[in-house]
Amino acid sequence: MTQNEMKKAAAIKALEFVENDTIVGVGTGSTVNYFIDALATIKNKIIGAVSSSDESSKRLKAHGIEVFDLNSVDVLDVYVDGADEITKHKAMIKGGGAALTREKIVAAVAKKFICIADTSKQVAVLGSFPLPVEVIPMARSYVARELVNLGGDPVYRQGVVTDNSNVILDVYNLEILDPKALEAQINAIVGVVTNGLFAHRGADILVLGSEDGVSVVI
Ligand code: 5RP
């Protein structure tokens, strides 16, 4: 199987976690795009979706799936999203697609986080993938200096403005041995909106596409 076939297989398998007559939390990225396309095949069985990005909202609407404002939704049973890296404890780095803040908000509301990924995303230690940090534009240089003090090498993601009108710093060369501690430490820097470590609220279930097929890791 190619990487895209693994992503697609994981995305289709994740449909098994979607209950009838519910609103589904939907992430962002190429793996999630396969999930949205799969969700369209059962669109008459669900009420609709809450989306983590303008990009995903557009794709959901193009399929005729209603997109709800999170403020009008009390309960989300599942949130389905991809990851840039995931450990065996299901802590993740996310935000390669710059949607990390909304992803973290929707994930916080959901009862279960289902991560859909291919095997290339599995790591022993987080940090080979540069850690995205969403920053208020006027704080960019200050936050970058603070991130250097934490041992990282922040790089401004040129030309990218998030759905919340902020900028992204990608932090290279972090060996993240304590993801929960670093997630809290970076979020405490003034000017940071959030960072792409999903450790306090990691995934509950990993649906993994591999050469041998799809497995569900609980
Ligand atoms: C977007 C994300 C994505 O989930 C992550 O980048 C994985 O993307 P892909 O499924 O395209 O590999 O966090 O902000």
Atom index in ligand 1 nearest the CA of residue 7 equals 10
Q: From its phi and psi, is residue 161 left (phi > 0), alpha (psi between -120 and 50) or beta?
A: beta
Q: Which atom of ligand 1 is nearest to the CA of 30?
A: 11
Query: For 140-177, what is each residue's pLDDT tens digit?
Result: 999 999 999 999 999 999 999 999 999 999 999 998 99
Predicted local confidence at residue 175, as pLDDT:
81
Instruction: Write the pLDDT tens digit of every residue in 173-199.
Output: 998 999 999 999 999 999 999 999 999
Question: Closest Cα to atom 10, ligand 1: which residue?
Answer: 31
The two beta strands, 192-195 and 131-135, are antiparallel
Mean pLDDT of 116-128: 97
